[in-house]
Amino acid sequence: MKFSLAVLSVAATASAFTAFNAPSRSIGASRVATSGVFAPVAVRNVETQLAAKQTPHGGSLVDLILKSDEEKEAAVAACTKELQLSPRQLCDVELIMNGGFSPLTGFMDQSTYESVVENVALPDGLIFGLPVVFDTDDEDLQPGDKVLLKDGDRNIATIEFTDKFLPNKAVECKKCYGTSEIEHPGSLMVATERGKYYMGGKITGLDLPVRDFPCKTPAEVRETLPDDVDVVAFQCRNPVHRAHYELFTRALDDPLVGENGIVLVHPTCGPTQADDIPGVVRYKTYEVLKEETHNDRTRWEYLPYSMHMAGPREAIQHMMIRKNFGCTHFIIGRDMAGSKSSVTGEDYYGAYDAQEFATEKGPELGVMPVPSLNLVYTDEEGYVTADEAKEKGLSEKKLSGTKFRQMLRGGEDIPEWFAFKSVVQVLRENA
């Protein structure tokens, strides 16, 4: 039997719950951050100081990180409470304060949250894929509180809470994930990991987290990108195998991509589905592959983002984030950010739902989706498109993910047409 979040979260059905304070101005509701309303913001001048061809989402790249020790000490001294961030919250705080979530300058308040859930847009109409919320079960936290946010002993940011509300989680999941069934990993996360309340709040950045994998800020990545060619982003959350590599290198030949374009391989290394390979291990596979396949037209960076497995809505979120990192194009794979029911094994999204939604929203977002090629391996000609293999009557070779994992665990030789030796070695060493 399938259980709905509506059953699990009966108390969270009043979407207009505002008993804690009067409505506050929406975080991110203005496309140009105003320091009098938001947390301290250093907005870079797009035309004179920002590298890369692409304009940040909303027009300006947000940078909330204080630069001097004196400023940081004063911000910490103003706090009256401390909180430890969960792994997902830590990713969100980092992307808020480094500008990955531009134009946001804090966690969404109720009106902003509801606008994104219902309309895939901020209150001013600027497209935004998924809500970014601070969740808590703490009854004592109240609007007006200034809280120090920590990762272990490390000070990460401060937050000044602006409101507190009971979200309608069933509606959130239905709108964002297409279902409120807890067999969906995103719905399960909302129901079982997130706290009862959501709180809006203005973020002031202190220090970036220390991670096993380096995560450059959008500004730092932009400084490494050429400012006169297209930059094609490739998102992944799993190790890159041969077909993936062929896919993102051949994307540069797509007629949608201008001459001399480059690929930014930008894997997410934060929390994903429970059965995914850990982020640190994924990072190790990317590093060895980067060395093995060195190519001046391929760049590698890492993103501290927690996956929702939200299919079409998450495709928009990823495109928006990569826009802030300087990308003009984004490769949309089959069943991108897709998920299956943990009970029936059925897909929640169609194979091309994300591609179609990205194509629809791409012009509004200002990022060109590049549909991924459906590549297959053949004995005669190596990797070709499935259509070409069919037309020529070529012999296809297939290896399922399940079979690959079985061979990996069993110590069997993995065919090199399927996976890179260096990647296989890392996976075996970290099994």
Beta strands across the sheet bearing 329-332:
298-300, 262-265, 231-234, 329-332, 368-371
pLDDT at 20: 32
Residue ranges of the chain with pLDDT lower than 50?
1-49
Residue 389, SS3 per DSSP:
helix
CA-CA distance, 134 to 85, in Å (whole number)?
10
Reading the block at residue 300, the tokens are: 């590698």
**Residue pair 104/202 in contact by the 8 Å Cβ criterion:** no
Please name which of 94, 219, 79 lies closest in space to residue 156, comparing C-alpha atoms. 94
**Residue pair 87/271 in contact by the 8 Å Cβ criterion:** yes
Reading the block at residue 377, the tokens are: 């391996």
CA-CA distance, 270 to 173, in Å (whole number)?
21
CA-CA distance, 123 to 305, in Å (whole number)?
24
CA-CA distance, 132 to 74, in Å (whole number)?
27
Q: What is the pTM of this model?
A: 0.86
Spatial neighbors of 392 by CB under 8 A, at least 6 apart, are: 380, 381, 384
CA-CA distance, 253 to 259, in Å (whole number)?
9
**Residue pair 46/112 in contact by the 8 Å Cβ criterion:** no
User: Which secondary structure element, helix H or strand E, spans residue 152, and what is its range?
Assistant: none
pLDDT at 44: 39
**Residue pair 241/267 in contact by the 8 Å Cβ criterion:** no
Please name which of 72, 108, 73 lies closest in space to residue 92, comparing C-alpha atoms. 108
Spatial neighbors of 47 by CB under 8 A, at least 6 apart, are: none
pLDDT at 47: 39
pLDDT at 273: 62
pLDDT at 371: 87
CA-CA distance, 80 to 285, in Å (whole number)?
42
pLDDT at 323: 98
Burial of 316 (0-12, 13-18, 19+ CB in 10 A): buried
- Please report, to the nearest 10 degrees, the dihedral formed by the alpha carbons of residues 85, 89, 91, 93 taken in order: -90
Please name which of 67, 61, 66, 65 lies closest in space to residue 33, comparing C-alpha atoms. 61
CA-CA distance, 52 to 47, in Å (whole number)?
10
pLDDT at 22: 30
Angle at 92 between CA 27 and CA 353, to 5 degrees: 90
pLDDT at 400: 81
**Residue pair 183/344 in contact by the 8 Å Cβ criterion:** yes
